[in-house]
Amino acid sequence: MKNKKIAIIGGGNLGQAIAKGIVNSKIVAPSNITLTRRRLHLLEHIKKEGFNVTADNKEAAADAHILFIAVKPFQLQQIVEEIAPIIASGTIIISLATGIASTSIENYFQKSMPIFRAMPNTAIAIGESMTCVSAYNANEEQKKIVLTLFEQVGKALIIPEELMSSATVLAACGIAYALRFIRAATQGGIEIGFGSELALQIAAQTVKGAADLLIKSSTHPEEEIDKVTTPRGVTISGLNEMEHQGFSSALIKGLLTSYNKIENGKA
């Protein structure tokens, strides 16, 4: 893996997070990673960290073993058509574009390529992503390379491609939903007496502890909730009021709204 050359077409939010995550986990040196962007000056800070940067997608793609495409979904076709004539047929393609099927990507390339779709979340920058991956036209060795890559920067799973929209919502959008929970809890914490910094610190560590309880003990959330809810106590009163106000329902409806937007081709 160490000698593999990686190109990231589209050095925006996710492209940069992936580059940093890969380097932090010491899988590949920054000198083996090239990021592209049209407004190259916006990658100046990345260049200072030892990455290669260029505005020339073909130059970046030409000698890449693994090529990430991290542009917005509507930009993907143009990028693929641009690099298709120079790309080696064994190059591993990893598309991060939401909602674009592997068969469409293959059509844009006009040749058979190993195509992966990956849905990390932004915690990839600190090695804590939940990344779901689908594989198309790929052999077992290529699948292992891609899974190993994402396992260095969090947890990773290969899933059937028909579940990629669901994975996008639960994991990639999901980090934003969880952050909004923390933000709301912080605002509540301020109302009941904490300064904003302390409220945020307490809310964030509480959510981390809750997640770790489930991950490390393999328990169900309700089992852990039962341990907190004293009969006639304060927790159950608060929880029930949240449910009367539609807490779980709001979350589920939000997930479905995001999902339907992808499925209706509006990503």
Ligand X SMILES: NC(=O)C1=CN([C@@H]2O[C@H](COP(=O)(O)OP(=O)(O)OC[C@H]3O[C@@H](n4cnc5c(N)ncnc54)[C@H](O)[C@@H]3O)[C@@H](O)[C@H]2O)C=CC1
Ligand Y SMILES: O=C(O)[C@@H]1CCC=N1
Query: Max Cα separation, the chain?
Result: 69
* Cβ nearer to ligand X, comparing 165 with 186: 165
Alpha carbons 7 and 245: distance in angstroms, whole number? 47
Candidates 23-31, 167-175, 188-196, 224-232; binding stretch for ligand Y (CB under 6 A): 167-175
Stretch that binds ligand Y, among 85-93, 139-147, 165-173, 233-241 (CB under 6 A): 165-173
Please report, as ranges, the residues that interact with ligand X according to CB under 6 A. 9-15, 36-38, 57, 70-73, 75, 79, 96-98, 119-122, 172
Q: Could you tell which of ligand Y, ligand X, none binds residue 158, using a CB distance below 5 to 8 A set by kind?
A: none
- If one asks whether residue 98 binds ligand Y (CB under 6 A), the answer comes out as yes
Please check if 239 is assigned to a binding site: no
Min dist CB 168 to ligand X, Å, is 7
Task: Name the closest residue to ligand Y (Cβ).
Answer: 172
Residue 172, interface with ligand Y (CB under 6 A)? Answer: yes
By CB under 6 A, residue 71 contacts ligand Y: no
Among 17, 46, 170, 173, which residue sits at the site for ligand Y (rule: CB under 6 A)?
A: 173
Report CA 97 to chain centroid distance, whole Å. 11
The answer to whether the annotation marks 13 as part of a ligand binding site is yes
Please enumerate in sequence order all residues whose Cβ is within 8 A of that of 146, keeping only pairs 6 or more positions apart, or say none.
66, 92, 94, 116, 118, 133, 135, 138
Q: What are the angstrom distances between the C-alpha of 101 and each of 97, 107, 115, 160, 186?
A: 9, 10, 10, 12, 39
Distance CA 207, CA 204 (A): 5
The smaller minimum CB distance to ligand Y, of residues 47 and 261, is found at 261
Minimum Å distance from CB 263 to ligand Y? Answer: 13
- Residue 12 or 127: which CB sits closer to ligand Y? 12
**Taking phi first (over 0 means left), then psi (-120 to 50 degrees means alpha), and beta for anything else, what does residue 227 get?**
alpha
- Interaction between residue 60 and ligand Y (CB under 6 A): no
Among 57, 102, 168, 186, binds ligand Y (CB under 6 A): 168
110 dihedral zone (left: phi>0; alpha: psi -120 to 50; beta): left
| Shorter beta-carbon distance to ligand Y: residue 108 or 259 | 259
Q: Give me the residue whose beta carbon is nearest to ligand X.
A: 12
In angstroms, what is the minimal distance from the CB of 79 to ligand X? Answer: 5
State the burial class of residue 40 (Cβ atoms within 10 Å of its Cβ: 0-12, 13-18, 19+): middle
DSSP 47-110: HHTT-EEES-HHHHHHT-SEEEE-S-GGGHHHHHHHHGGG--TTPEEEE--TT--HHHHHHHHT
Give the residues lining the site for ligand Y (CB under 6 A).
98, 168, 172-173, 267
